[in-house]
Amino acid sequence: MTKVNVYVTLRESVVDPQGIATTDALKNMGFAEVTSVRIGKLIELEIDETTTDIDARVKEMCDKLLINKVIEDYRYEIEEA
């Protein structure tokens, strides 16, 4: 089994209300050192290890379903397990 972690973040130009609310909550709780919080997604894929060209397949999955390219960026890491 090959494990792939896809890290999805909101584009910098996109407002992140959940992140802003979290920043405010942390500050109110006494964590004054926190200047910014942004909340993205971590998508953990398990892929059959006989798959050829995993890079191309993962990119295709991201383009077709996993990522909204209008508002999101992504990067991924492939790890053997």
Q: How far apart are CA 17 and CA 9, in angstroms?
A: 13
Q: How far apart are CA 16 and CA 56, in angstroms?
A: 30
Q: Could you tell me the CA-to-CA distances from 66 to 12, 52, 71, 80 in Å, in that order?
A: 19, 20, 12, 21
Q: From the CB of 45, what's the least distance to a copy of itself, in Å?
A: 6
Q: From the CB of 70, what's the least distance to a copy of itself, in Å?
A: 19
Binding residues among 34-53 for a copy of itself as defined by CB under 8 A: 34-48, 50-51
Binding site for a copy of itself (CB under 8 A): 1, 7-9, 19, 22, 25-26, 29, 31, 33-48, 50-51, 57, 60-61, 64-66
